[in-house]
Structures are given as C-alpha cells and as structure tokens.
C-alpha cells in the first residue's frame, strides 16, 4: 500500500459516476476538501473495514472495485454488492458514529482517498453546503439497498437474478465500439451469494446462456449481445436493457469474469 497526502493524484482520477462529493462546493471549499484527503493503493483481498469496527475514516473509491458483505451471527456471509469508482464507503457510520454494519474488501487493485472522521466532520461544520452532498450519498446508499431487496425478494427466477446483476455491473462499464467492457472480480460462488442462489445454479445459468448463444466465452472474458436476443427475454423490457447498456444496438458487453 502506498500513501500520498494531498491531491497530487487528482489528475489521474476518473470516477465512473458523474457526480462526486465535491459537487456544489465552491473552489475554495473544494481546495480545502482535497487537502484533507490521503491517497492509498490497495492490492486485491485487502480488508478496508469490518462489521462492528468503530468508524475512523471516510473512504472515496477512485479506481477498482470493493466487495461489500455482511455476516450472520452463525458466521454465514452475504455479499451485498460491489462498490465501483465514484462511490463513498463508510459514510453513514462516520456521520452517525455507529460501528460499521458491513465489511468492505477490495476485489481488484484499488486507489482510495480517505479522510479522518473527525477532520471530515469539522469540514462539514465549517461548510454547511457540504451537508447536501452527504444527503445525496446517503440517498444513493438507500437506493442500492432497495435494489438489493428487489433482486433478492421480488425477482422470481435465477436467470432473472443473474441478468439483473450483470446489467447492474454494466452501468459502470467502459464503452467501446463493440459495446461495453468491465472487470467483475467475483467468483461464481460470490455472485451466488450476491443474488441469493447456489454456485452450481450460477454456473448452470452461464452454461445455459452460452448454449442459447446469449453468452460467448473467450477465456476469462464473457461476451453477450445487447440487441434482440436479450430484448426478447420476457422478463426484460427494451427500456430496461437500454437504461443499463446504453444505446448501442448490435454490440457486445464483455465481462472480465473471474469464474
């Protein structure tokens, strides 16, 4: 891990999500906010924080992916989702002072900016407009939680659960002439934990998609057409596919999968 105080890496950061925490801040407020951040590199499989740990930092994911999970009292793990560049980690706990209620672990090399909790809270007190950004981030967390409930409780078939998961990942994909590309650092077991099905079911669904030519497999790259074959699936409307995959009609979505 490498730490770099200040904002020396700001020119390298290209968050996928258009909005960021500095939105609506004045130039002076933004400069002060940037000066509070410390930048770090993390390898895969690094634990950033765990459940019941006291909050000491607010984390801003700049590159890479972070797996978010929760454990039951019996030790059973449930993967809630994958955080992507542009997302804020641990904000609710840092703001409320309550222990983290989830565990965050990197699944790919990550660059993360962090601010100590007390310095972050003092910044908010000095600059009340920043509370609007806190409210927006907390609303996004709530929306992601609602989507997770929808995927687990309101989605009927394993195929629909898996496709919804893939489409959600495609929101942050890199757009190319052939469609979109993204890295998905979850195994079949972890995807199963995320969507509430067994690993064997995930593997069978991928095999089924390939046999129906909905998926193409090239080593660790999975590709599927985003045109009529997917739009023809009865559980997905054209509007839903377009919302997740963009306007390309005959391209392919490539998922760099660790299966």
Q: What is the CATH number of the domain that holds 37?
A: 2.60.120.10
Q: For the CA atoms of 200, 201, 207, 210, what is the dihedral angle to 10 degrees?
A: -150
CA triple 98-165-233, angle to 5 deg: 150
Q: Are residues 146 and 187 in the same domain?
A: no
Looking at the fold, whether 13 and 132 belong to one and the same domain comes out as: yes
The HSE-up count of residue 4 (CA atoms within 13 Å, CB side) is 13
In this structure, are residues 79 and 85 in contact, taking their beta carbons and an 8 Å threshold?
no
Highest mean pLDDT among 3-12, 16-25, 119-128, 163-172: 119-128
State the pLDDT confidence band at 191, using cuts at 50, 70 and 90.
confident
pLDDT at 117 over 80: yes
pLDDT at 177: 61
215 and 134 part of one domain? no
Return the bridge partners of 77, or none. Answer: 71
Select from 94, 124, 152 the last residue of a domain: 152
Residues 239 and 178 in one domain: yes
pLDDT confidence of residue 227:
47
CA–CA distance, 222 with 175 (Å, rounded to integer): 15
Same domain, 148 and 160: no
Query: Among 119, 152, 185, where does a domain finish?
Result: 152
Contact present, 103 and 193 (Cβ < 8 Å)? no
Confidence of residue 144 (pLDDT cuts 50, 70, 90): confident
204: CATH: 1.10.10.10
- Compute and round to an integer the Cα radius of gyration of the chain: 19
Whether residue 25 sits in one domain with residue 140 = yes
Question: Is residue 243 scored above 70 in pLDDT?
Answer: no
DSSP secondary structure letter of residue 11: G
Q: What is the pLDDT of residue 249?
A: 40
CA atoms within 13 A of residue 235's CA, in its CB half-sphere: 13
Q: Are residues 213 and 241 in the same domain?
A: yes
- Give the up-direction half-sphere exposure of residue 129: CA atoms within 13 A in the CB hemisphere: 11
Q: Look at residue 19 in the predicted model and tell me its pLDDT.
A: 46
Q: What is the pLDDT of residue 160?
A: 80
- Give, in order, the Cα–Cα distances in Å from 6 to each of 64, 108, 134: 20, 24, 21
Q: What is the C-alpha to C-alpha distance for residues 1 and 40, in angstroms, rounded to an integer?
A: 6
Same domain, 41 and 145: yes
Number of domains in the chain: 2
Last residue of a domain, one of 152, 185, 217: 152
Q: Where are the beta strands (DSSP E) in 88-178?
A: 88-89, 103-106, 110-116, 174-176
183-196 b/e with 16+ CB inside 10 Å = b?
A: bbbbebebbbbbbb
102/126 Cα distance (integer angstroms): 29
Does residue 259 have a pLDDT over 50? Answer: no
Helices 238-245 & 158-170 angle (0-180, nearest 10): 40
> What pLDDT does residue 252 have?
46
Mean pLDDT of 203-230: 69
47-61, 137-151, 196-210: which has the highest mean pLDDT? Answer: 47-61
pTM (2 d.p.): 0.72
The verdict on 195 and 129 lying in the same domain is no
| Domain shared by 159 and 182, yes or no | yes
Residues 139 and 169 in one domain: no
Is the pLDDT at 93 greater than 70, yes or no? Answer: yes
The conformational region for residue 106 under phi > 0 = left, psi -120 to 50 = alpha, else beta, is beta
Question: Rounded to whole angstroms, how far apart are CA atoms 28 and 30?
Answer: 5
Q: What confidence tens digit (pLDDT) does each residue in 150-167 have? A: 777 776 688 888 877 877
Provide the pLDDT for residue 86. Answer: 85
Domain housing 131: 3-152
pLDDT greater than 70 at residue 199: yes
Please tell me the total number of residues recorded for the chain in this structure: 259
Using pLDDT thresholds of 50, 70 and 90, give the confidence band for residue 258.
very low
Same domain, 55 and 139: yes
């Amino acid at each position: 891990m490498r730490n770099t105080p200040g904002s020396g890496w700001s020119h390298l950061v290209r968050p996928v999500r258009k909005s960021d925490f500095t939105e609506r801040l004045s130039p002076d407020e933004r400069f002060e906010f940037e000066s509070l951040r410390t930048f770090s590199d993390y390898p895969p499989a690094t634990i950033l924080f765990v459940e019941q740990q006291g909050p000491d930092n607010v984390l801003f994911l700049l590159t890479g992916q972070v797996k978010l999970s929760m454990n039951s009292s019996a030790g059973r793990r449930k993967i809630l989702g994958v955080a992507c560049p542009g997302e804020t980690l641990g904000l609710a706990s840092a703001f409320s002072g309550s222990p983290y209620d989830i565990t965050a672990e990197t699944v790919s090399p990550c660059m993360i900016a962090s601010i100590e909790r007390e310095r972050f809270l003092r910044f908010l007190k000095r600059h009340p407009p920043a509370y609007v950004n806190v409210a927006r981030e907390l609303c996004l967390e709530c929306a992601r939680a609602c989507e997770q409930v929808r995927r687990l409780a309101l989605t009927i078939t394993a195929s629909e659960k898996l496709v919804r998961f893939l489409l959600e990942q495609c929101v942050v994909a890199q757009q190319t002439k052939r469609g979109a590309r993204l890295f998905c650092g979850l195994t079949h077991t972890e995807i199963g934990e995320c969507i509430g099905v067994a690993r064997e079911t995930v593997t069978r669904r991928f095999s089924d998609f390939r046999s129906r030519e909905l998926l193409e497999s090239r080593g660790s790259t999975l590709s599927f057409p985003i045109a009529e074959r997917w739009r023809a699936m009865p559980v997905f409307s054209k509007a839903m596919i377009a919302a997740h995959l963009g306007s390309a009609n005959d391209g392919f979505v490539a998922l760099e999968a660790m299966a």
